[in-house]
Structure 1
Amino acid sequence: MNQEVSHVLVFKTNIQTHQRAKSLRPLLNNHPTILDWSVDTEDVDKVLRVVAKQSLKEREVISLVVNQGFFCEELE
Structure 2
Amino acid sequence: MTDIVISVFKTSICEKELIKLSSVLNQIDSIINWNTDLEDCDNILRIESEAIIADKVIKLLSGIGFFVEELLD
**Alignment TM-score > 0.5, same fold:** yes
| C-alpha distance in 2 between matches for 1:70 and 1:49 | 15
CA deviation after TM superposition for structure 1 residue 30, in Å: 2.5
Give runs of ≥4 in structure 1 deviating > 6 Å: none
Q: Which runs of 5+ in 1 are unaligned?
A: none
**Structural mapping, 1:30-45, within 5 Å:** 30-45=27-42
CA contact (8 A) 1:39 1:46 kept: yes
Which structure has the greater CA radius of gyration? 1
| C-alpha distance in 2 between matches for 1:62 and 1:4 | 23
Equivalent of residue 58 in structure 1, options 32, 54, 59: 54
Q: Which runs of 5+ in 2 are unaligned?
A: none
CA contact (8 A) 1:24 1:68 kept: no
Superposition RMSD in Å: 1.2
* TM, length-normalised to structure 2: 0.87
Deviations 1:4-57 (A, max 9, x none): 21121000001122x21221112211211111111111100000000101x233
Q: Secondary structure at the match of 1:5?
A: coil
1:20 is aligned to 2:17: yes
Letter in 2 for 1:66: S
* TM, length-normalised to structure 1: 0.84
